[in-house]
């Protein structure tokens, strides 16, 4: 199988993970009490795993600083989600996760 095709398949899966995370957050926009949902957790892990796989396929032609920042953001998001898996997500953390997620999209798209 062609290396570019493999990377493209993982990019699609990576974007689906992003959609699960951001969609899970936006779906609770007006809720008074925010909860960590299964799609948010699965989306975060999907992004981490597929991102690492794509870096492996693209090495050495990757921007290591960009990848490190995106990886760190996902670790922060994952840590917050895991820490609040069984309890309400405070609105300041909800807002932080949403901002970091959107910032991650901006970095992925705008940083070439």
> Is residue 102 assigned to a domain?
yes
| Local mean pLDDT, 10-residue blocks, the chain (112 residues) | 94 97 96 96 98 96 96 97 96 96 95 90
> Is residue 87 assigned to a domain?
yes
- Please count the structural domains in the chain: 1
**What is the pTM for the complete model shown?**
0.92
Residue 1 confidence (pLDDT): 81
Neighbours of 42 (CB within 10 A): 15
Distance separating alpha carbons of residues 112 and 66, to the nearest angstrom = 9
Residue 96 confidence (pLDDT): 96
SS3 34: strand
> Is residue 39 assigned to a domain?
yes
> Is residue 112 assigned to a domain?
no
What spatial distance separates the first Cα and last Cα of the chain, rounded to whole Å? 26
Structural domain boundaries, residue 63: 3-107
Q: How many CA atoms lie within 13 A of 88 on its CB side?
A: 7
Residue 112 confidence (pLDDT): 86
């Amino acid at each position: 199988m062609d290396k570019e095709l493999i990377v493209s398949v993982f990019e699609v899966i990576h974007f689906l993970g992003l959609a699960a995370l951001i969609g899970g957050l936006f779906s609770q926009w007006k809720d008074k009490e925010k909860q960590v949902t299964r799609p948010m957790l699965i989306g975060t892990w999907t992004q981490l795993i597929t991102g690492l796989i794509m870096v492996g396929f693209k090495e050495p032609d990757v921007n290591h600083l960009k990848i490190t920042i995106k990886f760190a953001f996902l670790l922060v998001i994952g840590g917050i989600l895991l820490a609040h898996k069984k309890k309400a997500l405070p609105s300041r953390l909800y807002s932080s996760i949403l901002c970091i997620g959107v910032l991650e999209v901006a970095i992925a798209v705008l940083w070439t």
